[in-house]
């Protein structure tokens, strides 16, 4: 696990975007796992800039998103399909049939989740998975106590998560209580993991993820079991790490061949 602490969320997002861009250049047919929410927005803006200014080509890239609210259509203002469409897909040249999100309007969530897992398998698995993290340590919508072996399935959101996502729904009461999410077992199968966290509200979750025990109570701590993980932080999100100095020294002393 490599912990990269930079002076700002913008600097960390730009560096993480370079990692994604490198993957796309080296493997134009790569499969990316994507996250929604506030955290990856600056990274997506940087990918869009690279597409326009540097010709970064996404036409053979395939994407799978982590999660979606259950019970709303893809054109609902709160849906993750809409967020991804407006925030990223509309600005890149990924063919729309290569962008996969769980269908929140499905009447058969179990079949939808199984079909999603099959689509990931048929695509050859996910090469690089982007992750944000909740204040309680959730990744995707795997809330605390989610099985570390879980597959794509229905989950119930905690009150805290509904509150933090209330913005797009005009209040917590309107946030759907249920979601479809990749499982922790599904996420861990991606070849490379890139987790971003910004701001002090994420500091406890990051400290528990990086320096606490592996536990279903902090779902992101599962990343300690993965062999290829980078965690990009700003100062706020890193503020409760006991070994921050060591992570900074390690990053500063990287040999050139290991740099992003
Ligand atoms: C969303 C997702 C969630 C978010 C997390 C943090 O696809 O996977 O785990 O990453 O809720 O949300 P933000 O980034 O809005 O703080």
Asked whether 192 and 167 are in contact (CB, 8 A), the reply is no
Q: Is 162 helix (H, G, I), strand (E, B) or coil?
A: helix
Residue 109: per-residue pLDDT: 98
> Partners of 194 in the beta sheet?
130, 230
Please report, to the nearest 10 degrees, the dihedral formed by the alpha carbons of residues 201, 207, 212, 215 taken in order: 40
State the catalytic residue, choosing from 14, 143, 192, 234.
143
Structure-token pair, residue 98 = 């290569």
Residue 213: per-residue pLDDT: 98
Residue 255: per-residue pLDDT: 85
71: Cβ–Cβ under 8 A, 6 or more apart, which residues?
104, 105, 176, 178
Residue 257: per-residue pLDDT: 82
What is d(CA 260, CA 256) in angstroms, rounded to the nearest whole number? 9
What is d(CA 168, CA 153) in angstroms, rounded to the nearest whole number? 23
| Statement: the pTM of the whole predicted model exceeds 0.95 | yes
- C-alpha 196 to ligand 1 mean position (Å): 10
Closest atom of ligand 1 relative to the 202 alpha carbon: 16
Residue 258: per-residue pLDDT: 83
State the catalytic residue, choosing from 46, 103, 127, 136.
136
1: Cβ–Cβ under 8 A, 6 or more apart, which residues?
210, 223, 224, 226, 229, 230, 231
- C-alpha 182 to ligand 1 mean position (Å): 13
Phi, psi of 229 (to 5 degrees): -130, 130
Residue 259: per-residue pLDDT: 83
Level-2 CATH architecture, domain 8-187: 3-Layer(aba) Sandwich (3.40)
Structure-token pair, residue 124 = 């050859």
Crossing angle of the two packed helices 9-26 and 41-54, in degrees rounded to 10: 50
Given a cut of 50, the residues of the chain with pLDDT beneath it are none
Active site residue 136: yes
């Amino acid at each position: 696990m490599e912990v990269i602490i930079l002076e700002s969320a913008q600097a960390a997002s730009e560096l993480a975007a370079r990692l994604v861009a490198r993957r796309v250049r080296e493997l134009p047919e790569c499969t990316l796992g994507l996250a929604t929410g506030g955290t990856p927005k600056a990274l997506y803006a940087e990918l869009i800039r690279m597409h326009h200014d540097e010709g970064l080509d996404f036409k053979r890239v395939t994407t799978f998103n982590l999660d979606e609210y259950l019970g709303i259509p893809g054109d609902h203002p709160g849906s993750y399909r809409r967020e991804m469409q407006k925030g990223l897909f509309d600005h890149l040249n990924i063919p729309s049939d290569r962008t996969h999100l769980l269908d929140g309007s499905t009447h058969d969530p179990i079949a939808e989740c199984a079909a999603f897992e099959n689509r990931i398998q048929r695509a050859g698995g996910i090469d690089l998975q982007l992750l944000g993290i909740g204040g309680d340590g959730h990744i995707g919508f795997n809330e605390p106590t989610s099985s570390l072996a879980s597959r794509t399935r229905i989950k119930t959101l905690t009150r805290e998560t509904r509150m933090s996502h209330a913005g797009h729904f005009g209040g917590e009461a309107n946030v759907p209580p249920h979601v479809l999410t990749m499982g922790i077992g599904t996420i861990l199968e991606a070849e490379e993991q890139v987790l971003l966290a910004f701001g002090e509200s994420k500091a406890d979750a990051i400290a528990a993820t990086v320096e606490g025990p592996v536990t279903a109570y902090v779902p992101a701590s599962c990343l300690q079991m993965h062999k290829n993980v980078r965690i990009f932080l700003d100062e706020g999100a890193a503020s409760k790490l006991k070994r921050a100095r060591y992570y900074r020294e390690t990053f500063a002393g990287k040999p050139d061949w290991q740099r992003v």
